[in-house]
Amino acid sequence: MQSLGIVEGYYGGLYNFAERRSLISSLSEAQLNSYFYAPKEDPFLRGNFHLYQSETWRSEFKDFVQLASEKSVEITVGLTPCSKQHIDLIEEKIDYFCELGCKKIALLFDDLEQFKADEQLQALNKAKLAFPEVAFLFCPTVYAQELIGKDSQHTTYFQEFLENCPEGIDILWTGKKVISTNLNFESESAIAGFPSERIAIWDNYFTIDSCPKRFNLTNFNHLDKSYLKNKANYFVNLTGMERTDKLIIDIFGNLLSSSGTKFKNILQRHGVPDALIEMIDLFDPEIKIKLLESDKEKLHKIIFSWFHPLKNEWYPYLHNLKNWG
């Protein structure tokens, strides 16, 4: 069965468990089945890997996993043992999350300043041997085509990774770019030796942590649906804005369904006014923004006449659009 859902994997801010439970309900309603817990701001997953959350957090996380199970949503946890000391503790850390009900673990070595392919793969092999009942994903330090040639260290790392990655492992990949605006079979050209179904997609299209002035919102225009059918794992990275993320979940679920619901109707039921829906192409990264004065006036009216929680999340982006150029 495919794992299709979301990843809480952005920089900046953390959801609380009430918000995460609400997202689980949204996933269930959209008939999506995966929540990948890997927030960059959870220090216990990365920099403070050797430490553990409080008992209160542990209890809340366990309840969160239980709710997800009741809603037929699988929880994946992303761990980053970013030093030799952390790698020595990897079995203990995985066991901690297994006891909380997790059966799927991702080892994430993205965005590290110090990295060695052999140490990372040793950690993976160690984990697989100790926990044969756990499903593992692996994110290499080079997780997008554009990172291969970043410098000689990244190029060498990638060559070593390709030569030594064990068979049967699912690797995480963002496509040609860290934030890819097209995801299709060509997105895998740099790792053509891997079976396509073993390349798990971490989709950063909607995330805003690297694009603070603009965010993308389309009817998944960037994704080739036939490509998606070939994926065992596909995760859409969130924005950290709850209303927006629920909208993205709804759009993704509709893409996979046969309901035939139009993009406009999805936007309307989440509170987007018709005046803004008429201008929704402004959120398409493939379209160059060139606003007329009349467009700026329309945005100005929307900003000061639309009262909705979603508007509160979008205000900085609407304001920036209004002043674009």
Domains of the chain: 3-259 (3.20.20.80), 271-322 (no CATH)
> Is pLDDT at 27 greater than 80 in this prediction?
yes
> Is pLDDT at 193 greater than 90 in this prediction?
no
| Residue 34 in tokens | 């995966």
> Is pLDDT at 325 greater than 60 in this prediction?
no
pTM of the model: 0.96
| Angle between helix 242-256 and helix 17-29 axes, rounded to 10 deg | 20
Q: Which residues are catalytic?
A: 111
Contacts from 220-223 at CB under 8 Å and sequence distance 24+?
220/251, 220/252, 220/255, 221/284, 221/286, 222/180, 222/181, 222/182, 222/183, 223/183, 223/184, 223/255
Cβ atoms of 130 and 98 closer than 8 Å: no
Alpha helix ranges (H) inside 165-280 = 225-228, 242-256, 263-269, 274-277
Per-residue pLDDT at 112: 82
Mean pLDDT of 45-51: 89
> Is pLDDT at 184 greater than 80 in this prediction?
yes
When pLDDT is cut at 50, 70 and 90, the band that residue 237 belongs to is very high
CA atoms within 13 A of residue 46's CA, in its CB half-sphere: 16
Spell out the residues 6+ positions from residue 287 whose beta carbon is closer than 8 angstroms to its own: 281
Lowest mean pLDDT among 107-111, 199-203, 243-247: 107-111
Q: How far is CA 92 from CA 44, 72, 142, in A?
A: 13, 27, 26
What are the pLDDT digits (tens) for 271-302?
999 999 999 999 999 998 889 999 999 999 99
Closest CA to 297 of 272, 267, 321, 264: 321
- Percentage above 90 pLDDT, the chain: 81
Alpha helix ranges (H) inside 100-219 = 117-130, 145-148, 152-164
Per-residue pLDDT at 113: 79
Residue entry with tokens 């605006």? 181
